[in-house]
Amino acid sequence: MCFSSDGRGDTGGARRREPMRATSGELVVEARAGSEDALAELLARHADDLRRWVDARIGAPYRAAFDADDVLQVTFVECFLRIRQFDPQSSGSFFAWLRRIAERNLLDAMRVLDRAKRPDRRRFLTDKVSEDTYLMLLANLESDGTTPSTAYARAEARRRIDEALEQIPPDYARVVRMYDLMGHPADDLAECMRCSRGTVYMLRARAHERLAELLAGEADLTLRSERRGFKQFA
């Protein structure tokens, strides 16, 4: 290589090009194909805008219970779980999808905080988890608009739910076990998990969604299997 009078290498006038930054559309394709790095980059690009959007919608009565970062934390977990379900329609659709997930988390947190002002007399703290507490959880899942338990016998409820809990994120499962099955107050969970009370409620809402989906899917498989068995003997 030749050197100029100032000691710098002479590259013949050619300049090194910085690597091109991937577009959001390219990152979406990679993320849907399973790239966690691509999804992390997408979320980083939208985090500030999403934080401002969420923060503007948290009413004063709720700010003591959670903040925008709490909403983003649960929202990003959901994005990693559901990115393959995302169907891109336009260059701005990823942020719209992200915002819908955040809005659902926000509304769930506020709704449950409002409900928490009226104590649930059915809740009790226990160190022993019984079939009754599992059945109460199934009843809660059904009240959320799903019907996963119709194909489940009482004796199977505990085993089926335990299997489903193993398939959801650890924080989701922890909230369900401690809040729904053992009756710990949300404040205790928040202290134990080092998060806000609002985060506990958001995690619980998303955990219930995942459990309902898993249990409903299991019930469908059981029903189809039974139908195949009937056809064989028909």
Statement to judge: residues 111 and 29 lie in one domain:
yes
Q: Average pLDDT of 140-144?
A: 63
- Band of the pLDDT at 158, cuts 50, 70, 90? confident
Task: State the Cα–Cα distance between residues 182 and 167, nearest whole angstrom.
Answer: 20
Statement to judge: residues 86 and 172 lie in one domain:
no
pLDDT at 212 over 70: yes
Statement to judge: residues 87 and 155 lie in one domain:
no
Q: Which residues have CB under 8 Å from 57's CB, separation 6+?
A: 103, 106
No. of helices (H) and no. of strands (E), the chain:
9, 0
Q: What per-residue confidence (pLDDT) applies to 215?
A: 86
Statement to judge: residues 141 and 53 lie in one domain:
no
- Band of the pLDDT at 119, cuts 50, 70, 90? low
Q: Average pLDDT of 60-73?
A: 94
pLDDT at 8 over 80: no
Task: State the Cα–Cα distance between residues 61 and 59, nearest whole angstrom.
Answer: 6
Domain annotation covers residue 15:
no
The two structure tokens encoding residue 70:
């709490």
- Band of the pLDDT at 233, cuts 50, 70, 90? very low
> Which of 87-96, 140-149, 176-185 tops mean pLDDT?
176-185
Q: Which residues have CB under 8 Å from 212's CB, separation 6+?
A: 141, 144, 146, 148
- At residue 192's C-alpha, the angle toward residues 130 and 167, to 5°, is 55
Helix residue ranges per DSSP H, 56-153: 68-82, 93-116, 131-143
Task: State the Cα–Cα distance between residues 143 and 150, nearest whole angstrom.
Answer: 13
The two structure tokens encoding residue 115:
């409900």
Statement to judge: residues 57 and 109 lie in one domain:
yes
Task: State the Cα–Cα distance between residues 128 and 117, nearest whole angstrom.
Answer: 26
Statement to judge: residues 94 and 30 lie in one domain:
yes
Q: Average pLDDT of 90-118?
A: 87
Q: Average pLDDT of 127-144?
A: 65
Closest Cα partner for 199 from 229, 220, 179? 179
Domain annotation covers residue 3:
no
Domain annotation covers residue 104:
yes
Q: Average pLDDT of 125-138?
A: 64
Q: What per-residue confidence (pLDDT) applies to 60?
A: 93
User: Which residue did the predictor score with more confidence, 174 or 141?
Assistant: 174
Domain annotation covers residue 61:
yes
pLDDT at 6 over 80: no
Domain annotation covers residue 11:
no
Statement to judge: residues 110 and 144 lie in one domain:
no
Residue type, 223: L
Q: Please provide residue 9's backbone torsions phi and psi, each rounded to the nearest 5 degrees.
A: -65, 140
Domain annotation covers residue 7:
no
Give this prediction's pTM.
0.70
Statement to judge: residues 42 and 70 lie in one domain:
yes
Query: Helix or strand or coil: residue 232?
Result: helix
User: Which residue did the predictor score with more confidence, 78 or 15?
Assistant: 78
From the centroid of its chain, how far is CA 143?
A: 19
Q: Average pLDDT of 5-9?
A: 46
pLDDT at 171 over 80: yes
Statement to judge: residues 96 and 143 lie in one domain:
no
pLDDT at 2 over 80: no
What percent of the chain is predicted at pLDDT more than 70? Answer: 70
**Which residue range(s) make up the domain with 81?**
24-116
Domains identified in the chain, total number: 2
Q: What per-residue confidence (pLDDT) applies to 128?
A: 56
pLDDT at 72 over 70: yes
> Which of 53-62, 81-90, 207-216 tops mean pLDDT?
53-62
Domain annotation covers residue 126:
no
Q: What per-residue confidence (pLDDT) applies to 149?
A: 45
